[in-house]
Amino acid sequence: MKIYDVWYVKNDSKCLFQEFVEPRATHNYASVGTIKADNLERAFDKLQNPLEANMDFMGIASSRSMSVGDVLVDAETKTYHGCQNAGWVELTRESDNFFIKPEIVLDRENYKVVDGGSNEET
């Protein structure tokens, strides 16, 4: 079972309930505790269910409902994951900002590598 650090968007932030598209400042987030779960989806489910969260969530009791725009950090690998409307996006943290981790895509037709997010040649 993994341990995830739970980071929620602060209530006064413009990032509240917004998917990750643009870079985000880490000062818009607060770590509210940790959750034990087998994977990201299970961590999300547990944080939506107060009975399960009571068993596996260590942190601020009023902060047990994960929303779009919140972040889970794998405590072992230090990998950041942003909660989207459907699923998760891996994030990188540089200085005081979160960025969507670019995907490497091979354009086999033109034999070049393109950035998965922007389709620009790299």
Span 34-93, pLDDT tens digits: 999 999 999 999 998 877 767 788 887 766 688 899 999 999 999 999 999 989 999 999
Q: Are 37 and 46 in contact (CB under 8 A)?
A: yes
Residue 77 lies in a domain: yes
121, part of any domain: no
Domain presence at residue 120: no
DSSP letter for 33, please.
E
Q: Which of 8-12, 13-17, 84-88 has the highest mean pLDDT?
A: 84-88
- Give the domain range for residue 25: 2-115
- Total domain count, the chain: 1
Q: Which residue has the higher pLDDT, 115 or 19?
A: 19
Residue 56 lies in a domain: yes
Q: Which of 29, 35, 72 is nearest to 50 (CA)?
A: 35
Is the model more confident about 101 or about 52?
101
What pLDDT score does 58 carry?
86
